[in-house]
């Protein structure tokens, strides 16, 4: 079976671009898991809610997802902050699986609430100007994918700037590294956790808005994205922002390739196999440093 | 007679930091030996190697004449070594009695037999009245007692005690000392203990080994090592209450 | 067990034994469902409540067991009682593999849960593409004769299936009650409470964790065989789906992980609540897809936040059947 090199390149590029959006979603989980130590099993469901928000704003108010992304991200920051501060914080002292079950419960509630409100039919955002393709030499790139990927990169860059060039951001990184030490020097760790969750939620919101440009939306998507986020974060390495983005691109590209060479519906098998291998043999992931 | 526990030139490093260097000593059967030294001297690392938590990088550890390098903790317990932990690890959700039954099952054929032996252990440690309480409800001295009872229930030949006296009041400490003396004299138990509380060391130990920066700097009877200049210099300077 | 508890248990047993005589098929099917979740809950509880390992991939054993027995029946006319052996063997192999890898490489806690999910999902997609068992189109067994009870081939009336499930659930309960009082029960709980301390007391934690995995997988496989013959069809998307794994854990979590009655009580509460709500809503003329799952989620949330040890223990104390 000979594959046209250009076609192959197009598939890979397409996968990489989608992967950047995945990467942003995973970045959100990395921040939440890495800083607040919350195993956010509702991560994908949160993204699905963001996607519905974008679709609704588009359908009712004609908000372009690129515009809607700002209010939605802000709303999600607040939502994430409150969720951590009010609901999840008390679980810090509880056994690990207790917190896991809490997030699982929230995930189930979110998915089915969406199902009840919006029904099971698929929805999408149709923007005509995104249907065109841009030519980069021999490569043909989907405009929607390109813009989505650019926004994802911008969001990741903004997060990077926050973490490395602001006081609050540095405090967050400190708390992630050493919870007790952070407390000892007077940092309000509870507030920092809440900020971290808020930021993670905001990332997910941006990723969600962008994802509406790439896929059709149903309430059942949430769970698959949660697992994908965990695969990426664990493969890329906990606590590594670059790892999340890199992992996202890797998964995006490999899924695209798997879709090309094997049957498309089997592409997730590769991700799960990779997760198993990494969990067993290199739990710190490709770029992470914490086992 | 071969010593019950023998360490020959044992060394262990952690990522370049040398925790234990060329340590050799012996523990004769039916004796009580104390391992003392400043914090960070490598005492718990040695304990962990004897108990099988990790293997030495080099050197030999033999118990009862057999090498135990690299054996797992449960295998070493099966050979006859019992240990307590510096930070107590009770089975919090189980009752006090059940905690000790778990230990007793090591040498009992069934739960009934284990329960009977566990109850005698609890009596020894004065915990019989609390046997049905959840272990989480115990005070620290009682938790320490439970830890000892549980280890004793495995019917060890060698008992490793890691800072059992820490946090105990003088009367509780004396009670523990009396208990250890009793099981040593009556039941012929060999004991190796890590201790900072000198009161207990002087009362119990027939031999004292002093560790400093991972090396043995003195090895002898309590009276002798108390006068060793090297020991006085590094360790006994403040605690002179003998 | 005190006198009160014995009375309650006796009353319950009478009700369970004679239910088919008084109940219609709908109630019977509901009761069968409750018993099914009580059974799978007990099987999962051995791994989690006793040995302390959180598995969210038990749908793997349901599916492996179900597909093994169903395939043997559909392709080779081998009855379920014979096919059971392959079903159990296959699930045990999966459980042993996952357990060996996880415990050997020190994967625990949440990572262990993720590992089990990954294996289940991987298998789900794999079987979806396995044409020998029907792939995504599903595997179908010859439709049952519902008027006669053919126990040998597990074809028959709702009452027959009810009794089969009753025997399984009772058996699982008795097994767990017995295990708790013997060496495995003590050792598993010790491992759950503090694995390091358990090792220091002579417990080979790897071996005992493997045992819990394997027993749990074997028991769950039997439930899979039951499903295959009860519904007469299997779809990878359904039986391997994480939704099944979640349903399995809901009973014990809500009732009380690690207790004996927890899984049964939790299963009953959940199923009745969900059915009741659905009936109510339909009676009011509405249609809410996903209502059942939403209720599961809400109950789980309430239990995890307010009564983390489950509903059964406080209730048992109130009813004075337990101290």
pLDDT in tens, B15-38: 888 899 999 999 999 999 999 988
Q: Residue B31 is encoded by which pair of tokens?
A: 């004796």
Q: For residues B162 and B178, what is the distance between their CA atoms, to the nearest angstrom?
A: 17
Residue A3 has pLDDT above 70, yes or no: no
Inter-chain CB proximity C202 and B74 less than 8 Å? yes
Residues B83-96 have a mean pLDDT of 94
Q: Residue A224 is encoded by which pair of tokens?
A: 């698959």
Q: Residue C5 is encoded by which pair of tokens?
A: 């508890």
Band the pLDDT of C154: cuts 50, 70, 90.
confident
Q: For residue A285, count other CB atoms closer than 10 A to its CB.
A: 24
Nearest to C304 among A101, A116, A269 (CB): A101
**CA–CA min distance C40, chain B (Å):** 24
Q: Which of A249-258, C285-294, C298-307 comes out lowest in average pLDDT? A: C285-294
Inter-chain CB proximity C308 and A94 less than 8 Å? yes
Inter-chain CB proximity A281 and C105 less than 8 Å? yes
Quote the crossing angle between the two packed helices C158-180 and C25-45, to the nearest 10°.
20
Q: φ and ψ at C143, to 5 degrees? A: -65, 140
Inter-chain CB proximity A108 and C122 less than 8 Å? no
Residue C298 with chain A: CB contacts under 8 Å = 105, 109
Tell whether B94 is within 8 A of chain C (Cβ): yes
pLDDT in tens, A171-193: 888 877 776 777 777 778 888 89
Q: For residues B191 and B168, what is the distance between their CA atoms, to the nearest angstrom?
A: 19
Q: Residue C169 is encoded by which pair of tokens?
A: 């659930």
Residue A1 has pLDDT above 60, yes or no: no
The whole-chain average pLDDT of chain C stands at 90
Q: Is A217 helix (H, G, I), strand (E, B) or coil?
A: strand
Quote the crossing angle between the two packed helices A65-82 and A143-165, to the nearest 10°.
40
Q: Residue A68 is encoded by which pair of tokens?
A: 């809607």
Residues C184-212 have a mean pLDDT of 95
Q: Output the CA angle C249-A96-A200, nearest 5 degrees.
A: 105
Residue B240 has pLDDT above 80, yes or no: no
Residue A253 has pLDDT above 70, yes or no: yes
Q: Which of A224, A132, B124, A254 is nearest to C125 (CA)?
A: A224
Nearest to B94 among C182, C193, C205 (CB): C193
Q: Which of C294, C117, C105, C65 is nearest to C206 (CA)?
A: C105
Residue to test with chain C: of A34, A91, A105, A255, most C Cβ within 10 A: A105
Q: φ and ψ at B87, to 5 degrees? A: -100, 115
Residue to test with chain C: of B91, B148, B155, most C Cβ within 10 A: B91
Q: For residues A7 and A44, which has the higher predicted lDDT (pLDDT)? A: A44
Residue A107 with chain C: CB contacts under 8 Å = 297
Inter-chain CB proximity A112 and C293 less than 8 Å? yes
Q: Which pLDDT belongs to residue C301?
A: 93
Inter-chain CB proximity B51 and C198 less than 8 Å? no
Residue C37 has pLDDT above 60, yes or no: yes
Where do we find the tokens 């189109």? Answer: C137
Closest-CA residue in chain C for A267? C125
Residue A291 has pLDDT above 50, yes or no: no
Tell whether C37 is within 8 A of chain A (Cβ): no
Q: For residues C226 and B39, what is the distance between their CA atoms, to the nearest angstrom?
A: 61
Tell whether B43 is within 8 A of chain C (Cβ): no
Nearest to A283 among C111, C289, C294 (CB): C111
Inter-chain CB proximity C110 and A219 less than 8 Å? no
Nearest to A116 among C246, C288, C298 (CB): C288
Band the pLDDT of C149: cuts 50, 70, 90.
low
The whole-chain average pLDDT of chain A stands at 87
Q: Which of B24, B9, B27 is nearest to B157 (CA)?
A: B27
Inter-chain CB proximity C197 and B111 less than 8 Å? no
Q: Residue A243 is encoded by which pair of tokens?
A: 């790892």
Question: pLDDT over 70 for what percent of chain B?
Answer: 97
What residues are paired with B209 via a beta bridge? Answer: B35, B219
Inter-chain CB proximity B111 and C183 less than 8 Å? yes
pLDDT in tens, A86-103: 999 988 888 878 899 999
Q: Output the CA angle B212-B217-B221, nearest 5 degrees.
A: 115
Band the pLDDT of A126: cuts 50, 70, 90.
confident
Do B and A make contact via 3 or more CB pairs under 8 A? The reply is no
Inter-chain CB proximity B74 and C196 less than 8 Å? no
Q: Which of B2-11, C136-145, C289-298 comes out lowest in average pLDDT? A: C136-145
Inter-chain CB proximity A276 and C118 less than 8 Å? yes
Q: Is C256 helix (H, G, I), strand (E, B) or coil?
A: coil
Q: Which pLDDT belongs to residue A141?
A: 86
Residues A69-93 have a mean pLDDT of 92
Residues in chain C: 323
What residues are paired with B7 via a beta bridge? Answer: B25, B61
Residue C251 with chain A: CB contacts under 8 Å = none
What ranges make up the beta strands (E) of B54-121? 58-63, 66-67, 81-83
Residues B194-202 have a mean pLDDT of 89
**CA–CA min distance C122, chain A (Å):** 5
Residue A96 with chain C: CB contacts under 8 Å = 109-110
Tell whether B154 is within 8 A of chain C (Cβ): yes
Q: Residue C168 is encoded by which pair of tokens?
A: 């399984």
pLDDT in tens, C243-259: 899 999 999 999 998 88
Considering just the CA atoms, what is the radius of gyration of chain A in Å? Answer: 19
A-to-C residue pairs, Cβ atoms closer than 8 angstroms: 110
Residue C196 with chain B: CB contacts under 8 Å = 73, 85, 89
Who contacts A242 (Cβ-Cβ below 8 Å, separation ≥6)?
A: A236, A287
Nearest to A269 among C122, C298, C301 (CB): C122
Tell whether C289 is within 8 A of chain A (Cβ): yes
**CA–CA min distance C322, chain B (Å):** 14
Residue C136 with chain A: CB contacts under 8 Å = 265
Who contacts A4 (Cβ-Cβ below 8 Å, separation ≥6)?
A: none
């Amino acid at each position: 079976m000979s594959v046209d090199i250009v076609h192959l390149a197009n598939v890979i590029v397409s996968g990489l671009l989608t992967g950047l959006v995945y990467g942003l979603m995973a970045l959100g989980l990395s921040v939440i898991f890495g800083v607040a130590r919350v195993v956010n099993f509702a991560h994908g469901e949160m993204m699905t809610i963001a996607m519905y928000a974008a679709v609704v704003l588009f359908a009712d108010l004609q908000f372009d997802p690129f515009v809607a992304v700002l209010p939605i991200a802000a709303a999600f920051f607040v939502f994430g902050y409150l969720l951590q501060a009010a609901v999840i914080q008390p679980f810090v002292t509880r056994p690990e699986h207790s917190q896991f079950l809490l997030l699982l419960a929230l995930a189930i509630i979110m998915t089915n609430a969406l199902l009840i409100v919006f029904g099971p039919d698929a929805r999408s955002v149709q923007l005509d100007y995104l249907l065109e393709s841009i030519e980069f030499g021999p490569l043909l790139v989907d405009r929607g994918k390109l813009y989505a990927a650019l926004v994802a990169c911008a969001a990741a860059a903004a997060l990077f700037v926050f973490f490395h060039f602001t006081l609050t951001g540095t405090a967050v990184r400190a708390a992630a590294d050493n919870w007790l030490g952070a407390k000892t020097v007077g940092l309000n760790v509870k507030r920092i956790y809440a900020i971290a969750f808020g930021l993670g939620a905001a990332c997910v919101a941006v990723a969600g808005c962008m994802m509406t440009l790439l896929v059709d939306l149903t309430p059942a998507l949430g769970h698959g994205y949660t697992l994908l986020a965990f695969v990426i974060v664990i493969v890329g390495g906990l606590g590594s922002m670059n790892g999340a983005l890199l992992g996202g691109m890797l998964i995006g590209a490999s899924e695209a390739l798997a879709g090309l060479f094997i049957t498309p519906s089997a592409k997730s098998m590769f991700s799960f196999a990779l997760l198993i291998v990494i969990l067993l043999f290199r739990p710190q992931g490709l770029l992470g440093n914490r086992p | 007679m071969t010593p019950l526990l023998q360490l020959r030139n044992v060394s262990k490093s952690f990522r370049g930091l040398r925790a234990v260097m060329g340590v050799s000593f012996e523990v004769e059967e039916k004796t009580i030996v104390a391992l003392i030294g400043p914090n960070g001297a490598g005492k718990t690392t040695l304990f962990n190697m004897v108990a099988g938590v990790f293997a030495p990088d080099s050197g030999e550890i033999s118990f009862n004449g057999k090498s135990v390098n690299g054996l797992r903790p449960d295998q070493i317990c099966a050979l006859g070594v019992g240990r307590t932990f510096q930070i107590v690890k009770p089975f919090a959700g189980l009752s006090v009695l059940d905690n000790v039954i778990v230990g007793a099952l090591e040498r009992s054929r069934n739960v009934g037999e284990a329960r009977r032996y566990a109850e005698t252990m609890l009596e020894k440690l004065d915990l019989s009245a609390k046997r049905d309480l959840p272990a989480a409800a115990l005070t620290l001295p009682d938790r320490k007692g439970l830890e000892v009872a549980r280890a004793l229930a495995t019917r060890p030949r060698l008992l490793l005690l890691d800072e059992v006296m820490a946090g105990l009041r003088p009367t509780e400490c004396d009670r523990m000392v009396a208990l250890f003396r009793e099981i040593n004299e009556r039941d012929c138990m060999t004991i190796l203990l890590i201790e900072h509380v000198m009161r207990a060391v002087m009362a119990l130990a027939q031999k004292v080994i002093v560790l400093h920066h991972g090396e043995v700097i003195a090895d002898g009877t309590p009276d002798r090592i108390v006068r060793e200049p090297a020991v006085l210099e590094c360790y006994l300077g403040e605690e002179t209450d003998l | 067990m005190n006198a009160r508890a014995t009375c309650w248990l006796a009353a319950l047993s009478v009700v369970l034994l004679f239910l088919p005589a008084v109940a219609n098929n709908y109630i019977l099917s509901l009761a069968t469902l409750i018993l099914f979740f009580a059974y799978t809950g007990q099987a999962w509880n051995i791994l989690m409540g006793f040995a302390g390992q959180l598995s969210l991939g038990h749908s793997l054993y349901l599916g492996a067991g179900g597909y093994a027995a169903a395939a043997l029946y559909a392709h080779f006319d081998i009855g379920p009682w014979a096919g059971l052996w392959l079903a159990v063997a296959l699930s045990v192999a999966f459980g042993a593999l996952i357990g060996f890898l996880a415990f050997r490489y020190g994967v625990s806690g949440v990572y262990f849960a993720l590992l089990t999910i990954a294996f289940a999902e991987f298998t789900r997609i794999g079987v979806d593409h396995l044409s020998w068992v029907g792939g995504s189109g599903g595997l179908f067994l010859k439709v049952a004769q519902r008027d006669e009870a053919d126990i040998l081939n597990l074809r028959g009336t709702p009452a027959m299936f009810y009794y089969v499930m009753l025997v399984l659930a009772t058996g699982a309960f008795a097994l767990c009650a017995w295990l708790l009082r013997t060496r495995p029960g003590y050792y598993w709980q010790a491992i759950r409470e503090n694995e390091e301390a358990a090792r220091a007391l002579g417990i080979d934690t790897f071996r005992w964790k493997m045992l819990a995995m394997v027993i749990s997988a074997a028991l769950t496989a039997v439930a899979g065989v039951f499903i295959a013959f009860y519904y007469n069809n299997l779809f990878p998307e359904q039986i391997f789906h994480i939704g099944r794994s979640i349903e399995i854990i809901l009973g014990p979590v809500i009732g009380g992980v690690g207790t004996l009655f927890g899984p049964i009580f939790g299963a009953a509460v959940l199923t009745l609540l969900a059915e009741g709500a659905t009936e109510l809503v339909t009676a009011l003329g509405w249609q809410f897809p996903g209502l059942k799952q939403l209720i599961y989620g809400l109950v789980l949330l309430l239990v995890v936040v307010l009564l983390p040890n489950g509903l059964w223990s406080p209730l048992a104390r109130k009813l004075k059947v337990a101290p």
